[in-house]
Chains A and B, each alone.
Chain A
Amino acid sequence: MNEQMEKDLQTRGRIFDIQRYSIHDGNGIRTIVFLKGCVLRCRWCCNPESQRYEIETMTVQGKPKTIGQDVTVAEVMETVEKDRPYYRRTGGGLTLSGGESLCQPDFALALLRTAKLRGLTTALESMGCAKYEVIAKILPWLDQYLLDIKHMNPAKHKEFTGSSNELMLENAKKIADSGLTELSIRVPVIPTFNDTPEEIRAIARYTAALKNVKRLHLLPYHRLGQDKYEGLGREYSMKEILPPGNEQMERLLDAARSAAGGVECQIGG
């Protein structure tokens, strides 16, 4: 084993979960490693325990649970390797998610590089919210980039996520131009935020202008993370919001298709 690989294995980072048998986040059957810490504070976030980098306590089913764990790449890979038979049959592998994985750039890079060198496919679910230099470093080790674009309007983006969207949109262009990875755009469809045909069309138009985009996904809002807010002692500000219905999702899909310039559009991951 060369020095770089050994160093990667010992690289440490902070995660809050590893989920096996993931089938909606990248090709095939995958294992998702959730990195802790995020730059955004999306109001609808279904993993609120992912947002802070600090290790914290969340009440789960009435019991306190420590969220966040410092681990080495070697330790993560031990779990990831367990499903190798499934990756082999499906082209699956490792997916990094968060939080925003790019907040832990060295750890993310070491994980992706290790997986790739071991013959697993790699995917990253991210907002692209980091300096492009950080992204450029990981792209050679990344098979699939599942990039979130939540809204085209900077003000509204800031209002609902805490940050403006310019950096992310710019990075989207650069990632697309690089041609180094298979790029998919994912849009969480959130009522009161971006669930009008106009808003979806705007994202689709932007997507159409990007090079090499494989797919555009519309991910319907769900409230499954709601209980976690309570567990963290936080207020869930979207309590009254209902998930979009099937018909509305179909309408938005039509809107996306009308502006996506031939990019394949679908509901779900």
Chain B
Amino acid sequence: MTTTVQGSRAGTDAIKLSGVKRSYPTAKGEFVAVQDVNLTVASGEFVSVVGPSGCGKSTLLGLLAGLAKPAAGTVETLGHPVRGVNTEVGFIFQRDALLPWRTAEQNVALPLRYHGMSKRDALREARAWLSRVKLDGFGERYPHQLSGGMRKRVAIAASLAYQPKIILMDEPFSALDVQTRTIMEDDLLVLWQEYRPSVVFITHDLEEAVGLSDRVLVMSASPGTIVGEFAIDLPRPRNLLELRYDERFTELSHEIWERLRTEVLRTNADNH
């Protein structure tokens, strides 16, 4: 198999990476974060990328968001190449990116204001989004007055509020406890189903990837490249709270783990 990974509906690609390489100069010479990455994501598709830590998963998102430039290859979103910062995407970071000096609703209103909405409309819209992420009544709290899960909900509301067609998520739930996490994932799926953006979801948690996605891509140990592709044929809508006991879910997880394990072991061998 070549490393080209095809979206399920050709012709409506929201994302297209061809032959992408990203490298940095370091004291010990060139460090290659990712190379030979070919990937397409159809519009409305939910794709997860799993891989051993340090394999360059997050680098892919940086490239898609235009926060980093590829050393080789092309990065396209919505049919045109990414030049400079890509404001057509929503980015949900692993770390908290909310402004600590703004309330929850002000944080959600921020991107709307940047997109030219009036202050009044932006705040009204922000409140509606907070209610969609189940944070009614928390609008006037500051981030430090919210729990980690709530802050992630605010970040999701802020990224969805301006309705980008592509959402990039970088291990968004990795800092949350297991129960909070499952509930967040479930709520995320409901929102996704409603607005249907294309999603690229980075995680090191295989079950999270299988539960959420239409497709799971496996990245190799560093330098990262895509070494496996698995279609997740679980019916939607899915109930993540029950899914873990589903036979097909277990089967798929097991299958992907077989591929992923090799890479994880390779990473560990390299590090020791």
Answer yes or no: do A and B interact.
no
- Tell me the B residues contacting A by CB distance below 8 Å: none
